[in-house]
Amino acid sequence: MGHPGRHHLPTLTGVTNDLSALTGRDFAAVLFDMDGTLIDSTPAVGRCWARLAQEEGIDPARFEGRHGIPARTTVEALLPPDRWDAATARLTQLEIDDTDGVVLLPGAAEALAALAPQGRSAIATSCTRDLARARLRASGLVAPAVVVTVDDVERGKPHPDPFVEAARRLGADPADCLVVEDAPGGLRAGRAAGCATLAVVTTSTAQELSVDDLADAVVGDLSAVRFAVVDGRVRVSPA
């Protein structure tokens, strides 16, 4: 899911695009989050969550701070059990139907283009399979061969399962992978999987992403990063 309460990307004030903690290292693969990392679905998500809040009689402000985790997890936290199935299904359909304004984020296409042909990247998203397909289609992003959705794992983010499964499908050790994320919950999932982490300041502030040393490095967006495959390994450097 995207961010249910924020309708504009945060400013990049104070972001220094410091990749020094990752420069000089190499990785078996890069595991990308989707919403907020590769594509901007924020306006559509905001509209859908606002609609669900209205229908369920919930204060929309209660959705704040729940970015980067499966929609079902948020629904279960805010609604009584007898509404979980219906509300999750309703939200999923709303989001599949509303992809207006879903666009690529800077540097996303270039990052995947550099890695996908060599089979060195995957997407691990909290979206359902159908929603991921709809947003990828709307954005025009050419996805890598491996796309792991919440439908493919027992537990979604902030649990490590999506990144562990993405690494498995690539034949890589999670501890040898780099996770790229925009949300604290996703970074926690990456850390729990044993991955190195790179954060982009597209839906959360640099301060939110740096708490508890969640991110090894923080950049404004992927346009600040260059990915290259050298001798079968992925290297990261400033663009």
- Which active-site residues does the annotation give? 33, 35
Q: What ranges make up the beta strands (E) of the chain?
A: 26-27, 29-32, 39-40, 103-104, 121-124, 146-148, 177-181, 196-200, 217-219, 225-230, 233-238
DSSP code per residue over 1-58: ---SS--SPPP-TT---B-TTTTT-EESEEEE--BTTTEE-HHHHHHHHHHHHHHHT-
Question: In this structure, what token pair is assigned to residue 178?
Answer: 């780099």
What is the three-class DSSP state of 124?
A: strand
Burial 96-133 (b: 16+ CB within 10 A, else e): bebbeebebbebbbbbbebbbeebbbbbbbbbbeebbe
